[in-house]
Amino acid sequence: MIERAVRARRQPDSTLVGPGHDAAVVAAADGRIAISTDMLVEGRHFRLDWSTPREVGRKAVAQNGADVAAVGARPTAFVVGLGCPPDTPVAVLDEISAGIGEAAEEIGAGVVGGDLVQAAQVIVSVTVLGELEGRPPLLRSGARAGDIVALAGTTGRSAAGLALLLAGNREFPELVASHLVPEPPYAAGPAAAAAGAHACTDISDGLVADLGHICAASEVAIDLDSRTLTPGRTLREAGAALAADPWEWTLAGGEDHALAACFPPEVVLPEGWRPIGVVATGRGVTLDGKERSAPGGWESFAPGSAR
């Protein structure tokens, strides 16, 4: 079934041996390959009453593609393990595969292999390979005091979309779309690496949480400038409609799969990147110099929020 879906697609030049053998062979021109894996489970990471099967496939590609982009690599190949109950309509599996295939093709990557098994629920397990093209890999551990913290992509839109879906609110389809199919800024990762960024991460757990991973790995502190992160009009309107705090979505919501990186201060930020804070000595993430008071507690001090 997977082979049927992927064989129909054009493989990029980087696919040296495609599906149909015991293993595929993918180019790794500079002698290194970046690799990451994620597992999406029905009912936890997606709901088939919210997402079309095609969107599930597209989300799986986005989520994994962002991980290799975060180390500065260009996604080149995906393999897919697909588990499903025996009564799953073939059309659902075909659509998941089609979503994976088209999303991969859009970013120039191939789907080079897969496995289809029976399971109690729909499970999509994706592994992505990426080419570093001669660049050093961006790690979480390279940030230094004095670096500029920059963001590529959006934060908070996916969390807002999830809140809208849970509330049954259909007024903001563009936010719901951000949740169902995130659009990571793939090119921003390689661009950051080429520009000499010191550290980078994908925002999947939430901006503050993921920057916290950089702080821990790099043994630094990060202070965010709230003026650079003010939620836009759509997020504010959605917050008002749900009586929710859009700052919470922006600072703690994951799954937009934005990228955050730390650049030396003398670097001109590449296209797509905008400054949001600075790296300092110490530990942990602050906003305008203030610590988060408690989980979910951003609203107690975030500027412009209802108190």
Give the binding site for a copy of itself (CB under 8 A): 16-17, 20-41, 44-45, 66-68, 70-71, 73, 77, 79-83, 112-115, 117-121, 123, 125, 127-130, 132, 137, 139-141, 200-202, 217
* Cβ proximity to a copy of itself, 189 vs 270, nearer residue: 189
50 burial level (CB within 10 Å; 0-12, 13-18, 19+): middle
Residue 299 beta carbon to a copy of itself: minimum distance, rounded to whole angstroms: 28
> Dihedral (C-alpha) 150, 153, 159, 160: value to the nearest 10 degrees?
110
User: In angstroms, what CA-CA distances link 78 with 69, 91, 94?
Assistant: 14, 21, 16
Residue 6 beta carbon to a copy of itself: minimum distance, rounded to whole angstroms: 12
Q: Is 122 helix (H, G, I), strand (E, B) or coil?
A: coil
* Cβ proximity to a copy of itself, 127 vs 234, nearer residue: 127
Q: Is 178 helix (H, G, I), strand (E, B) or coil?
A: helix
User: In angstroms, what CA-CA distances link 277 with 19, 179, 221, 231?
Assistant: 45, 25, 11, 16
Residue 134 beta carbon to a copy of itself: minimum distance, rounded to whole angstroms: 12
* Cβ proximity to a copy of itself, 176 vs 199, nearer residue: 199
Residue 176 beta carbon to a copy of itself: minimum distance, rounded to whole angstroms: 23
- In the numeric block, the tokens 């916290």 are attached to 212
Q: Which of 26, 45, 47 is nearest to 35 (CA)?
A: 26
Residue 105 beta carbon to a copy of itself: minimum distance, rounded to whole angstroms: 18
Q: Which of 41, 117, 45 is nearest to 81 (CA)?
A: 117
Residue 141 beta carbon to a copy of itself: minimum distance, rounded to whole angstroms: 8
* Cβ proximity to a copy of itself, 118 vs 294, nearer residue: 118
* Cβ proximity to a copy of itself, 42 vs 147, nearer residue: 42
* Cβ proximity to a copy of itself, 189 vs 246, nearer residue: 189
User: In angstroms, what CA-CA distances link 27 with 11, 30, 101?
Assistant: 12, 9, 19
Eight-class DSSP state of 251: H
